Amino acid sequence: MPWHLMDGVPLPDQVAGHVALEFCNTRAGWGGPAPKEYLTCDRALVLWAADTGQRPIEDADRARLATGADRPGPAVPRALALREALYRCALHTDDPRPWQLVGEAAARAREHAVLLPGGPDRPATWQVPQGPGRQTTARAAERVVDAVALAAEALLTSPLALAVAACPGAGCGWLFADPRHRRRWCTMTVCGNRAKARRHAERLRE
């Protein structure tokens, strides 16, 4: 799946059309025997949030992130559990357990969030403030999970939730919003072209 480096950390390219779906795409190979994991530590979680525009990182923060938190902290298991539940909810599971987990995560996040006013062309939104001063990487990662929980709730309660699809590419399973129902692949340049190449090879063998 397409990816890039940010401060030396591999991160998935953004293809989904909503940050909650991009969060699901921090894993590739859903349902397969060898999934690719991007959220391996607190640092990766915080850098992912910066990469998707959820949390800016100042130069002073970059130096701190570069020297620590390369092991999974308490935020990482929370993030992985939320991602697993969100992925299933986004694909409309009837199992109530994932819905409960996402709902509880959003309720917990609102304990730390503030409701910001909207405007003439945008609705009000819940946001998790970064907090005063510099935070530890572990604390910043916890706030990222809270912000994602609120984004997940916003997605699942919006009409866009009815337009979520999963890429059928081998070893993929990435999610994306497809309101016009004309899209099949996460990216044509990767999964789409791989499928075309496989079909071409099969025709040659026949």
The predicted model scores a pTM of 0.89
Of 83, 74, 68, residue with least CA distance to 38: 83
Percent of the residues in the chain that have a pLDDT greater than 70, as a whole number: 85
Note down the domain range covering 146.
3-205
Residues 73-100: tens digit of each pLDDT: 889 999 999 999 999 999 999 999 999 9
pLDDT in tens, 127-156: 888 765 567 888 889 999 999 999 999 999
Mean pLDDT score of the chain: 88
CA 29/CA 35 separation, integer angstroms? 4
Question: Would you say residue 200 has pLDDT above 50?
Answer: no
State residue 40's pLDDT score.
93
Q: At what angle do helices 96-110 and 137-156 cross, to 10 degrees?
A: 120
Question: Which CA distances in Å does 137 have to 10, 12, 184, 185, 187?
Answer: 18, 20, 37, 34, 32
CATH of the domain at 156: 1.10.3300
Q: How many domains does the chain have?
A: 1
What b-and-e string marks burial along 129-150, b requiring 16 or more CB atoms within 10 Å of the CB?
A: eeeeeebebbbbbbbbbbbbbb
| CB atoms near residue 9 (< 10 Å) | 20
Instruction: For 37-66, write each residue's pLDDT tens digit.
Output: 999 999 999 999 999 998 777 655 666 666
Q: What is the DSSP letter of 169?
A: S
